[in-house]
Amino acid sequence: MESDHLFHLNYAITLLKHGKVEQAREQAQKFESLFQALDDEAKQSDEDALKQRTSLLMSLNMDPGMAPPSRPKQQQDDSQAGAGAGGSRK
C-alpha cells in the first residue's frame, strides 16, 4: 500500500473529512511525492483523481499549481474526430 498514490489521496480526504487536518496534510504530501514520480500519461489517466487532488490541496491550503492540466480540449476533439472520420469503428 505504501507505494499506491491513490491510497494516500483517499486516506488524506478521509482524514480531512474527520477534521484531522495535520494528518491529512501528511498523507497529501505522501500522495504528492508518489504522484509527481508518475509519468505524464499516468498522471492524466484518471480525471476524477485529478479533481480530487486539486480539491484536497486547495482545502489544505497547499499549492495545486503543480497539478498537471487536464487534457487540452483540442486534443480531446482530435481524438474523437478520428473515430468519426472514414466511417464507424467497431
Q: Say whether pLDDT at 41 is over 80.
A: yes
Domain count for the chain: 1
pLDDT tens digits, one per residue of 9-31: 999 999 999 999 999 999 999 99
Q: Say whether pLDDT at 71 is over 90.
A: no
Containing structural domain, residue 40: 5-67
pTM of the model: 0.68
**CA 44 vs CA 10, 67, 81, 83: distances in Å:** 17, 10, 20, 21
Residue 52 falls inside a structural domain: yes
Residue 72 falls inside a structural domain: no
Question: Which tops the pLDDT comparison, 35 or 86?
Answer: 35
Give the pLDDT confidence score for residue 75 in this predicted structure.
46
Residue 78 falls inside a structural domain: no
Residue 89 falls inside a structural domain: no
Q: Say whether pLDDT at 62 is over 70.
A: yes
